[in-house]
Amino acid sequence: MLLEANGIRKSYDGVKALISVSVELRAGEVHALVGENGAGKSTLIKVLTGAVQPDGGEIRLHDQLIEHNNPAKARDLGISAIYQQPALFPHLSVAENIAIANDGNKLWQKVDWPRRTAQATRLLQQIGARISPGALVSSLSMAEQQLVEIAKALAANASVLIMDEPTASLGQQDTGHLLRIVRELRARGAGILYISHRLEELFEIADRVTVLRDGNNAGTCEMAAVTSRELIRMMVGRELETLYPKLEIKPGKVALELRSVYCQRSKVKNVNLAVRSGEIVGLAGLVGSGRTQLAEALFGLETISHGSIYVDGSLVEIRSPRDATQAGLAYVPEDRRRHGVILEMPIRSNVTLASLDKLSKNGMLQKRAERDIAREFTERLHLKAPSIETPAKDLSGGNQQKVALARWLITKPRVLILDEPTQGIDVRAKSEIYHLIGALAEKGMAILLISSEMSEILALSDRIAVMSKGALVGIFDRQDASPDEILKLALGQNDSEVRGRN
């Protein structure tokens, strides 16, 4: 056995994160680790990498007990971790980032720059990444940063590689590339512990799977021997009615209309799109296809250089988020930890942030009204938190996303733009958010849904618009859409032809 963790226990301030968890990893396997948020996956990883000390249990590597684990020791033993958010130094070069972790014991020796550059070049080539070793990490895309993380792990001669949702912020193409690299590492005999909320991805890549639930093991089995339904049941502990509820809603009048919208800076070109009241329009496309930029343009975060926008049939001028909010638009951005919620602020202030003017009288915030509305929405969204004064940073990903949603629902928008609303959150919270989106559409809200998860976009949308290189290259009706067709359009293989009806 390559790596064995037995009966790991860990509490934070009396809250039990891991009650007793065991997992074993063979050389040359991809072992999936799944569970809801709060099941203990992250804590288990932190214990394995030495970032936190367990209260009990033991870790064995090659049948040798690891004692007094810490990040430097784990790395020296060949255990490396790649996190969802790359843990890189933005202001340092790629080569320095790759080398730095291995130089900790050469504190007072001269740094060998040429050797570092050569090593970085070799490792990056090995994983097929076209990144210059001298580039600053802050200039790289998220996908490129993940590749640097992998090179870093290779530099440490990792025999155990722990990947915590490495694809959560990647688009389809980059995900494919990453999975290919994972397979190569496996073929070379590495053991890979792979965490992801994207079940389809796990079926594609994993050999075995261990399910965690509430800090305990819920089972380990061969990936080929389970269905996704069974996996979800193991994770949640009960049958989840339907992951993707789809309500039959009769769409009303056109609520949002874009006529030949161009944004010079972000290269969005000639977008024509109408979203009707009660309709969910999915916006599919690769990372960098302009989906987020279009959403930002609609919300006044990006300058529209040409074209017009109509809300409920009347022309609106959107130059700032304020204009957009007044026009009845709301935008829940992706990457909620950076843009969606303010981590240090309590739930109450977070959810009322976009509607402070409505909650104020003569410039004075009506504290009571603020509290009432915050309570109402936390209840309505089934937000799980000790109180409305809990800071957002103490919430799970799913609950943070609900806070971000609540902030905009309070403004009673006509049009809701959701950018990757379920990125990196667990199945139960996902299912709740899907139900919520359905309920909002039923009440007549027009919804524009950006998502990189194909199954999500196919299941929820009434129509699916595909973007590629800043242009809208096709629109499918729900019944005509298929993953292959969408991907083909998104990849730009049918550049000249605009398919579907507009």
Partner 1 sequence: MKLRLQRAWPSLIALGILYIYLALAAPKFYAADNLRDLALANVAVLLVATGMTLVIVVGEIDISVGALFAVCSIICGTFAKLGVPTILWPLVALAAGGVLGATNGTLVSFVKAPSIVVTLATMVAWREALRWITNGAWIEGLPNTFQWFGLGQRTGEAVIVVSALLLFGVLWWASRNLFAVRAIYATGSDAEAARLAGIPTNQVVFWVFVAIGALTGIAALLNAVRFSDVPANSGINLELKAIAAVVVGGTPITGGRGDLVGTLIGVMLLGSIGPALIFLGVSPYWEKAIQGGIILAAVLVEAIGSWRGRRVEFA
Q: Which residues bind partner 1 (CB under 8 A)?
A: 49, 51, 70-72, 75, 81, 83, 87-92, 96, 100-101, 103-104, 106-111, 113, 138-142, 169, 171, 287-289, 291-292, 334-335, 338
CB of 82 to partner 1, least distance (A): 11
Using N-to-C axis directions, what is the helix angle for 172-187 and 142-155, rounded to 10°? 10
Q: Which residues contact 187 (CB under 8 A, 6 or more apart)?
A: 28
Cα–Cα dist 126/203, whole Å: 26
Smallest gap from residue 446 Cβ to partner 1 (A)? 22
Q: What is the CA radius of gyration of the chain?
A: 24
Residues paired with 316 in a beta bridge: 309
Shortest Cβ 500–partner 1 spacing (Å): 23
When the beta carbons of 328 and 470 are compared against partner 1, the nearer one is: 470
Q: How far is the CB of 132 from partner 1 (least distance, A)?
A: 14
Tokens 């509820």 found at: 245
Q: Using the minimum distance from each CB to partner 1, give the nearer residue, 44 or 140.
A: 140
- For residue 499, CA distances in Å to 46, 82, 290, 464, 476 come to 48, 40, 18, 11, 8
Q: Tell me whether residue 92 or residue 342 sits nearer to partner 1 (CB atom).
A: 92
- When the beta carbons of 93 and 355 are compared against partner 1, the nearer one is 93
The residue among 51 and 487 lying less far from partner 1, judged by its C-beta, is 51
- Least distance to partner 1, CB of residue 108, Å: 6
Q: Which is nearer to partner 1, 43 or 352 (CB)?
A: 43
Residues in the chain, overall count: 502
What are the b/e assignments for 241-253, b being 16+ CB within 10 Å? eebeeeeebebee
461: left (phi over 0), alpha (psi -120 to 50) or beta: beta
Name the residue nearer to partner 1 (CB basis): 97 or 349. 97
Give me 439's structure tokens. Answer: 């309920």
Q: Check if the beta carbon of residue 26 is closer than 8 Å to that of residue 1.
A: yes
Q: Minimum distance between the CB of residue 406 and partner 1, rounded to whole angstroms?
A: 22
Contacts of 298 (CB under 8 A, 6+ apart): 256, 258, 309, 318, 324, 329, 331, 417, 448
**Distance (Å, rounded) from C-alpha 105 to C-alpha 108?**
9
Quote the crossing angle between the two packed helices 367-380 and 397-409, to the nearest 10°.
120
Closest distance between partner 1 and the C-beta of residue 84, in Å? 12
CB of 96 to partner 1, least distance (A): 7
Q: Tokens standing for 295?
A: 């959403």
10 Å Cβ neighbour count for 22?
A: 16
Shortest Å, Cβ 240 to partner 1:
29
Q: How far is the CB of 490 from partner 1 (least distance, A)?
A: 13
**In whole angstroms, how close is the CB of 107 to partner 1 at the nearest point?**
5
Place of tokens 């570092």: 116
Nearest Cα to 295, choosing from 313, 276, 282, 312? Answer: 282
The nearest distance, CB 438 to partner 1, in angstroms, is 25
At residue 428, the 3 state secondary structure works out as helix
Q: In 3D, which of 386, 425, 32, 36 has the Cα closest to residue 215?
A: 36
Cα gap 501→269, rounded to integer Å:
18
**Of 193, 82, 79, which Cα lies nearest the Cα of 127?**
82
Q: Which is nearer to partner 1, 125 or 139 (CB)?
A: 139
Name the residue nearer to partner 1 (CB basis): 292 or 378: 292
In the complex with partner 1, which residue's Cβ is closer, 70 or 493?
A: 70
8 Å CB contact between 282 and 461: yes
Q: Which is nearer to partner 1, 278 or 333 (CB)?
A: 333
**Of residues 96 and 257, the one with the C-beta less far from partner 1:** 96
Cα–Cα separations (whole angstroms), residue 390 to 27, 212, 386, 411, 429: 43, 26, 7, 22, 19
Contacts of 448 (CB under 8 A, 6+ apart): 256, 275, 281, 283, 295, 298, 415, 416, 417, 418
CB of 368 to partner 1, least distance (A): 34
Residue (88 or 123) nearer to partner 1, CB: 88
